[in-house]
Structure 1
Amino acid sequence: MSDLGQLLKKARLDKGISLDQLEETTKIRKRYLEAIEEGDYKVLPGNFYVRAFIKSYAETVGLDPNEVLEHYGKAVPATEVEPAVEPIRRKRSSTRNTEKLSKWASNILMLSFILLILGIIYYFIGTSYSGNDPKKQVDPSDKITDKLPDKNAPSVQNTGDAAAGGQTDTGKPPEGSVTPPPVNLPEPVVTFARSVGNIDYYTVTNADKLNVKLVINGEECWLSISKIIPATADRKQEHQSIESKLYKKGDTRDWTSDQSVYLNIGFPPAAEITVNGVPIQLGTVKASKKVQIDLEKPM
């Protein structure tokens, strides 16, 4: 048994945690946990999973995972060098067309609002002047009794709902009313920004929140997702962990965040990820991949 394995096993026994309980908490198979305690890392599915499993093990038994890896990092197999992924190139013409459509939609919406205001003003001005029409003045020669309704004629009353809604007995709106045009909100736009090393950067606009959906179609895949806390005058940019777990085939998961997020995918070919309904290209390379999704909220 290695020194690192002895440290982890002792911390587990001090906490009174069995291997079965640890397997249920970390979602890591029991034989992998035993291999970590014995220092037999060849049993694990790959070098990338060694550090991820050790961090999850240490955190569950109350140890600082970063401090554990710092002291025993030399005994842990190094992560394989990940090949550079060719960035996705998008035609600039499509981006320009999207910007033109957004400007046209904004202009049309503003013009519709102005026309609506002018129509309401015209309606009220016309109603005010109609009260001074000399043709509608009362003729003194008319008898009041001629204007009284017939007692035998059936009376017609408006219901409370019709009066409150400003409608006639037929259920139709009164003449001269103006119906505002429907307002179509722009759909969220997910754009690939750049690729630096093994990190792909995406930008999401026209949205207040991010909706990230995960579907595991292939074999099991380890994935971690964290929220990016923006930097301030008092502190640097931080990553706040949302979830870190080994998912199996058929698993699905949804996350919603009001901040930018950072994902680390252990086996990209097995995962399918969509952001606000738009799929993210992970490629077919079997090495781990990192994706940062920046949320640009509307002003």
Structure 2
Amino acid sequence: MSELGEVLKKARLEKKMSLEEIQDVTKIRKRYLEALESGDYNVLPGKFYIRAFIKNYAEAVGLDSEEVLKYYHDEVPAVETVVNEPIPARKPKRMRSASSEKFGKIGFTVLMWCFIGLIAFAIWYYFANKEADPVENGNGNGKQITDNSVAPKVTPTPTPVITPTPTPTVGPVSITFVEKNGRDNVFLVSPMKDTYSLKLTASGGASWIEVYEGGKNGTRLHYATMNDGEVLNFDVTKDVYISMRYAGYIEATLDGVVIEDEDIEKARILLKLDTADVEDTTTAE
């Protein structure tokens, strides 16, 4: 048992509280509380949860959480900062697709006019040969055209096959932390797409959830408690604002990519769509 774990356990026993009572107060699972008391931090779901769990445990047993973290900071594992790098080479690909589409339209126009020209030439050739044949009526010097005369054959011109321009594909979503604006954590979502799939999954407990499309003051999509095991799915086309109470019980993903947030007590997340790709592509065209 670690020294920090002994302090927490001693304070709990002095309060005459069981681990089940601490679990009800802090909403932290009992096995995680036992891990804090024994100093076995590998049991916890992630390093960025450890400080929050210790803080909530200390406050539940009447200790000054800041002093506890400050005094025993050597025992608390450091939090690793993970930065999701955006996928490169997205803009040049869109520019090449636009050029291909432009040349495809020009090629289609040229083929269409060539086809019309061939048809006009065939019609002219037919009537020109017909008028050039001599017609004599009974003088014996010319050939009289009978009903058995065969008109010149016109070889049909094959219809040109137009190959459609392939639609440019959009790569996987990248979610990058940008800044902390007040109590809101702002993330940048790229590349730009018509629709994104937002999924919220509750596991281990209940949490109050608010979801708005179009930013913090946008259209409300959800405003209720999510129970353990419940799953919510939304198709969004604009910026998304998510507010979660007891966020440690919620896993939030956008197009399958997990949205990481260090605040497990109450998370406020703003997902801003990266419109730079669209603006740069429009300028290039």
How do 1:240-251 and structure 2 match up within 5 A?
A: 240-251=219-230
Say yes or no: does 1:176 pair with 2:171.
Answer: no
| Matched length | 189
- 8 A contact 1:222–1:247 mirrored in 2: yes
- Match for residue 179 of structure 2? 196
Return the offset for 1:262. Answer: 0.2
- Match for residue 240 of structure 2? 261
1:136–1:85 Cα change, 3 Å: farther
Following the alignment from structure 1 to structure 2, what is the Cα–Cα distance between the partners of residues 251 and 294? 26
Amino acid of the structure 1 residue aligned with 2:210 = S
- For the pair shown, the structure with the greater C-alpha radius of gyration is 2
Following the alignment from structure 1 to structure 2, what is the Cα–Cα distance between the partners of residues 220 and 273? 14
1:291 to 244, 269, 276: 269
Say yes or no: does 1:132 pair with 2:135.
Answer: no
- 8 A contact 1:119–1:178 mirrored in 2: no
Return the offset for 1:225. Answer: 0.6
Following the alignment from structure 1 to structure 2, what is the Cα–Cα distance between the partners of residues 238 and 246? 20
How do 1:214-229 and structure 2 match up within 5 A?
A: 214-228=200-214
1:87–1:187 Cα change, 3 Å: same
Per-residue CA shift, 1:79-122, capped at 9, x if unaligned? x99xx99462416xx42x22222222222222222222222222
Return the offset for 1:270. Answer: 3.5
Return the offset for 1:182. Answer: 4.4
Amino acid of the structure 2 residue aligned with 1:88 = V
1:136–1:225 Cα change, 3 Å: same
- 8 A contact 1:227–1:240 mirrored in 2: yes
Return the offset for 1:284. Answer: 6.7
Following the alignment from structure 2 to structure 1, what is the Cα–Cα distance between the partners of residues 185 and 196? 19
1:279 to 257, 263, 284: 257
1:278–1:136 Cα change, 3 Å: farther
Per-residue CA shift, 1:3-31, capped at 9, x if unaligned? xxxxxxxxxxxxxxxxxxxxxxxxxxxxx
How do 1:1-299 and structure 2 match up within 5 A?
A: 45=26, 86=81, 88-90=83-85, 94-95=87-88, 97-133=89-125, 137-138=129-130, 139=133, 142-145=145-148, 175-187=158-170, 190-197=173-180, 199-228=185-214, 238-275=217-254, 277-282=255-260, 286-295=264-273
Following the alignment from structure 1 to structure 2, what is the Cα–Cα distance between the partners of residues 142 and 280? 86
Q: How much is the aligned-residue C-alpha RMSD, in angstroms?
A: 4.0
Per-residue CA shift, 1:38-86, capped at 9, x if unaligned? xxxx96556xxxxxxxxxxxxxxxxxxxxxxxxxxxxxxxxx99xx994
Following the alignment from structure 1 to structure 2, what is the Cα–Cα distance between the partners of residues 219 and 43? 11
Unaligned 5+ runs, structure 1: 1-41, 47-79, 149-173, 230-236
Following the alignment from structure 2 to structure 1, what is the Cα–Cα distance between the partners of residues 247 and 128? 79
- 8 A contact 1:214–1:272 mirrored in 2: yes
- 8 A contact 2:175–2:187 mirrored in 1: yes
- 8 A contact 1:282–1:289 mirrored in 2: no
Per-residue CA shift, 1:148-201, capped at 9, x if unaligned? 9xxxxxxxxxxxxxxxxxxxxxxxxx8223334144144376343543235032
SS in 1 for 2:124: coil
Q: Provide the identity percentage.
A: 9
1:101–1:267 Cα change, 3 Å: farther
1:247–1:142 Cα change, 3 Å: farther
SS in 1 for 2:221: strand
Unaligned 5+ runs, structure 2: 1-22, 28-64, 67-78, 136-143, 152-156
**What TM-score, normalized by structure 1, do the two folds share?**
0.49
- 8 A contact 1:87–1:195 mirrored in 2: no
- 8 A contact 1:267–1:288 mirrored in 2: yes
Return the offset for 1:264. Answer: 1.6
